[in-house]
Structure 1
């Protein structure tokens, strides 16, 4: 469950990608990376840590170009402590491809064996994102067969990826000298949205907040199974590449993971949390007499909309029982239960009088 962003513009994109990653920092804080493209050459910087720590002025100056992509990582597969598994990932053939991925592949192990034995491609980490990149690269090579790359070739490769890969994946890839590709799995488990700025810059990102916070107007969501290919002059090509696409988004996005000011697949995250409060009110009334409840206390921060709605519907006072230290990072995405327990103790402090 990472945060990803891709941009095609007529102006340098390094600062724009950095700003978008800051807006997506809640989706991953283990590592961050940016790739830009100038001509046919990629420029990359990635490392473990938060966005503000990974990118210094000297790093930003070394990222020229008018197209690029970036990622903030929450490691759900592979090694959480390996800097090699920070994204983006790169392969030099065909054309040269860099890729960022948000999701989890459930058949990564069998695919890794298949890549080695059948496709003769090597993966150097335990990351399922590197597997996904190599599957796509292999299928793109088969689709083009050495002829000049056309958008339809890219869509043919994505169709083959859908047939081989199982799991959740929102993907943004940059093909050297050609353009930016974005696609979602046939169930649309992980979100992906596209927007455009007044100067014609096209941005694709995990959440609408990344678009709005960088002065882009939300245009639409990438549909489940759909792929869009943005040429370097900003022209957008779109194609449905899955046989039976059906939207089945991850509920955890709405319960906890996404920012409340985002809209995912037409659903306001904030409104979804209010609705969860309504559903919870019905459950509470059927199991606990409301007169036995003293107060409603949320455990910050994502539960606040649900708790306020619950308190309103039950007519019970809403109180704050915990104070959050905002200088401690998001705890559920920290690697290791020991680190999480220690960080929660530092992050939340009880207001004893409320209890």
Structure 2
């Protein structure tokens, strides 16, 4: 098991960084989902050697390439598998009697989007496709490597976004309006725009086998079911929009939370400023309804380090104590010989 820290300049590998320690975290619920902390000795920011021709001479001299904390990117590999591509966002110097180390705080390149704001009020005409608008914003920041699900959803009315609006927040708000996940950068830095969907096919499987090293026990999180709504009402509160309203009622007499079983309503309302269409409003409320009809079980496990873990992956666990399909909410890797990867997983265990 070998960790490698490849340095990229303008997307081209130029050398390998010598890293003292590294910890990588991925959180599906965060705006910037992939982050890491790296410790690098201050004397090891120079690497590789290129030969430069001496002016007016046939001689060449050696020139070391120095890591550029602003322009360069760090791509972390486990053997030949990628764990993430990062940019340096903070690099305090820690000094001691024995050594001086840079403590790099690094993120995926959604950090660039998060640091960007609209330079002026931005007008968008009715009929503009949501994805076209999002692609335009990303292209203005230099991002063109995008994989996406298709949709024909358009702005129903003219829209205007205020000066200084955070671009990452804006994009994620628009993605929510068309029932997409928030923006996600994969391990190679490719952007993904993906529709919300449930997957019953496991991307990762862990069983009672020594190579998987599952060492933790499930933790069940209790919810107060008495506060779970049985009526869900969505309304678009915007004078520029056509009137949109959707009401979903749990009136199943066999369901202990329903209006008929309880004998009284528990109402939850959603007042939305914008939505792509009446159908997307109904999809939005249906998703919120399903969230509230289930009780979550959260599980923490530790396994051998694996690559290819992405956004809300489906994980199958089959051990003596834990069995079932789970959704991976977050994971963390300590890049060392300990070969340990910690996962936070969730699943719906009670369908009310």
TM-score normalised to the size of structure 2? Answer: 0.22
Higher-helix-fraction structure: 1
State which structure, 1 or 2, has the greater radius of gyration over its C-alpha atoms: 2
